[in-house]
């Protein structure tokens, strides 16, 4: 007999930000089993557990608002599940809450990002104002990879509430950027940063951090950071209400 479907809200930060979407699903599955929670499996020659994740995060992007739906084979009080998972989740992954889902992931329309744009030695002159003016002017054209190849899209209509703040010197961090897109280490205190916060379209289309950075620096290569690091902080529906 099937049990409950639960929605797990969790975060993955630090090194856990480099866990891929498929590997993250395996992490959730193993943690649930280690916590003694029996899963509901599909039938057939290759049975698999019913686990689905909302808007998979790109590798290297941290998140404080990840959502996963899981079908359990038993009935469990949802509020107890985060405590059951705490001892068996890897470093950087934390179950925040669990509850019965009432809405479909397709209702997610927007997500909030917090990021750091890192520049070699010093940020471009007037970077904060110039980036703000880029947003106000619109026409933020960037290349987006699709199944049919790369297409050029105007990102401006899919952005809301974008703000910048020029910071001081910063340590180099692992993240995604214009160099190799992998984990990179460098001497400390050699990089200036500009902080960014933005609400972006979550799907149809999805504005990824790399697409956002590419759009901001399109037409002005001096604004292109050598590196960037982003965290997803919240999902919203079409009315900009937090999605749970």
Angle at 221 between CA 215 and CA 225, to 5 degrees: 75
Query: From the first residue on, what is the mean pLDDT of each consecutive set of 10 residues in the chain (244 residues)?
Result: 83 94 94 93 84 93 96 92 96 96 95 94 84 87 75 90 82 47 45 91 93 88 91 97 95
Q: Please state the pTM of the whole predicted model.
A: 0.85
What is the predicted pLDDT for the residue at 183?
38
- What one-character-per-residue DSSP string does 114-182 give? EEEEEEESSPPTTHHHHHHHHHHH---EEEEEETTEEEEEE-GGGEEEEEEEEEEEE----SB-SS-SS
Tell me the C-alpha distance between 123 and 184, whole Å: 19
What is the assigned CATH class of domain 109-236? alpha beta
Q: Which CATH number applies to 5-102: 3.40.640.10, 3.90.1150.10, 3.30.70.580, 3.40.50.2300? A: 3.30.70.580
Residues of the chain with CATH 3.30.70.580: 5-102
Cβ-Cβ contacts under 8 Å for 10 (sequence gap 6 or more): 28, 66, 68, 89, 93, 94, 95, 96
């Amino acid at each position: 007999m099937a049990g409950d479907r639960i929605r797990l809200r969790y975060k993955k930060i630090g090194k856990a930000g480099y866990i891929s979407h498929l590997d993250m699903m395996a992490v959730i599955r193993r943690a649930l089993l280690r916590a003694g929670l029996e899963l509901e499996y599909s039938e057939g020659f290759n049975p698999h557990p019913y686990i689905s994740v909302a808007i998979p995060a790109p590798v290297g992007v941290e998140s404080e608002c990840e959502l996963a739906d899981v079908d359990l084979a038993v009935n469990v009080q949802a509020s107890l599940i985060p405590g059951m998972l705490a001892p068996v989740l890897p470093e950087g992954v934390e179950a925040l809450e669990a509850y019965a889902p009432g809405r479909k992931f397709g209702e997610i329309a927007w997500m909030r990002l917090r990021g750091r744009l890192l520049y070699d030695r010093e940020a471009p002159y007037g970077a904060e104002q110039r980036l703000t003016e880029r947003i106000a002017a619109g026409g933020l054209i960037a290349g987006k990879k699709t199944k049919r190849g790369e297409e050029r899209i105007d990102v401006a209509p899919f952005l809301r509430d974008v703000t910048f703040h020029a910071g001081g010197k910063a340590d180099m961090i692992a993240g995604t950027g214009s160099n190799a897109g992998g984990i990179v280490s460098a001497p400390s205190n050699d990089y200036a940063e500009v902080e960014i916060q933005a609400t972006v379209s979550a799907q149809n289309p999805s504005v990824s951090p790399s697409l956002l950075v590419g759009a901001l620096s399109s037409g002005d290569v001096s604004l292109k950071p050598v590196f960037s690091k982003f965290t997803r902080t919240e999902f919203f529906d079409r009315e900009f209400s937090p999605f749970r």
